[in-house]
Structure 1
Amino acid sequence: MRIALFITCLNDIMFPGTGRAVVTVLERLGHTVEFPEEQTCCGQMHFNTGYRPEAVPLVARFARIFADYDAVIIPSASCAGMIREGHSLLAERHGSAQLQQEVTEVVPKVHEFTEFLTDVLGVTDVGASFPHRVTYQPTCHSLRGLRLGDRPQRLLRAVKDIDLVDLPAAESCCGFGGTFALKNAETSGAMLADKTQEVLDSGAEILCAADNSCLMHIGGGLSRQGSTVRTMHLAEILAAEGATR
């Protein structure tokens, strides 16, 4: 199987360790991962802010770059959801018949990281060890968009020595929502305050999720409160083998 990593803009610029963690896990399972250096943005920022025709070149670029791969792995439910649903819509409304065909061919190959592990590779135990108390936040895109269900939790439960605790009101939004946090700062801040309190109430040392965007938002709130709770992408926990950062 020829596998490619689509790291996403946020991870590439701010959280490159997540991409490395994805590669570590897949290589541990016996797979080779390629990283096409031509990759750029999935176009979600353009799409969500109304610049939809401007996102079409990004859609075309994605389809071209990843056309020859059997699987495209994305450590972000948000971006995976954009590609699966947004790319088809953009190609249909603003693209050519050729682009529609290219998108139709590449979209089925796109997998969010945890669903690739559980559904495609059929594994939950990836050989990880992480002796810490962890709680999991099911981000809105993973929960309501991709409908990942308990796939992330199944992977976490299989990690050796982990103490996985429930997050109160886990299904509530953290208030990030991309540009929502900028355009509706007061509402976003109130939602964040609720979420950080829920994280603290869980008693966890570490909060993890499948999207670094939400972790960045929640982590910022925790940091401003002087909390020692850390945030980690789920892939980084699955990549751990005893020693942790």
Structure 2
Amino acid sequence: MKVALFIPCYVDQFYPKAAIATLELLEKFGLEVSYPKNQTCCGQPMANSGFEHLTKGCNNLFVQNFLGYDYIVCPSGSCVMHIKDHLHTEENEAAAQDIRTKVYELTEFLVDVLKIEKLEASFPHKVGLHQSCHGQRGLKLSQMTELMAEPFSKPGHLLSMVNGLELVELDRKDECCGFGGTFCVTEEAVSVKMGKDRVLDHERNGAEYITAGDLSCLMHMEGILKRRGSKVKIIHIAEILNHHLS
């Protein structure tokens, strides 16, 4: 299968280790992964701010970069959801619609496509799992606790295979961290209060690390943790799934 790696701009600029871990993890499962070098922003920040009409260039470039692949894998639920729901182009709408069916968030791809049941990973730490809103409520990566339905978590399923990892039980499993893209800029006071509540839940339950599939959420919480002088660290789930003791 032809697999393309889609790396969001903020991951590329601020957290390249998560991108490298995603690539190495996919290659461990025997996949030949390509990285289209001309990729840039997917257009989500503009669309979420009410300027979707300005995303034409982003949409056209995305189609040019990722046309012809069997799967497109990305370590960011919010960017994946944007492409799944909003990618379109007047120049080649058929290609855009096809790409929308082939883009996957990393844990979704590992569980639903590769159907991974064993990992050669070790991470002997107490870890709190943050269920990002786009991933949980948009991509259905885990069950929402307000529903009277069978619980599941694709990220949690993968973390359960990691040797030595203890997944801590949180008081509020699917509470928003308050990032919300441009929300954290326009409503910074509310955003910060939500972020403080979120990290306190992890700290209160003994987490050494907070992990998630969205580095935007982790970046927001990392800023709060550092300002609090907390010892809790953030780490993308790809880095845990790819981690092994030397």
CA distance in 1, matches of 2:58, 2:115: 32
Deviation at 1:16, TM superposition (A): 0.5
* SS, match of residue 128 in structure 2: strand
Distance in 1 between residues matched to 2:243 and 2:55, nearest whole Å = 36
Runs of 5+ unmatched residues, structure 1: none
Q: TM-score, normalised by structure 1?
A: 0.94
Alignment partners' CA distance in 2, 1:219 and 1:132: 18
Tell me which residue corresponds to 2:149: none
**Mapping of residues 122-201 of structure 1, within 5 Å:** 122-149=115-142, 150-201=153-204
Q: 2:92 aligns with which of 85, 95, 99?
A: 99
Contact 1:131–1:160 at 8 Å: present in 2 too?
yes
Structure 1 residue runs of 4+, over 2 Å off?
none
2:107 paired residue number = 114
Deviations 1:210-235 (A, max 9, x none): 00000011111111111110100000
- The amino acid that maps onto 1:99 is N
Q: Does 1:228 align with 2:221?
A: no
Partner of 2:50: 50
1:99 Cα deviation from its structure 2 partner: 2.8
**Unaligned stretches of 5+ in structure 2?**
143-152
Q: After superposition, give the CA deviation of every residue in 1:39-83 in whole Å (9 maximum; x if it has no partner).
A: 111100110112211102111111121111111100000000000
Stretch moving more, 162-171 or 149-158: 162-171
Give distance in 2, aligned partners of 1:174 and 1:124: 30
Q: Render the CA deviation track for 1:117-147: whole Å, top value 9, x for unaligned.
A: 0100010423111111111000011111111
Q: Which residue of 1 aligns with 2:148?
A: none
How many Å separate the matches in 2 of 1:125 and 1:117? 11
**CA RMSD of superposed structures (Å):** 1.1
> How many residues are paired up?
236
Identity across matched positions, percent? 39
- Greater mean alpha carbon deviation, residues 123-132 or residues 198-207: 123-132
The answer (yes or no) to whether the contact 1:168–1:201 under 8 Å persists in 2 is no
- Write 1 or 2 for the structure with the bigger share of helix: 1
* Equivalence for 2:245: 242
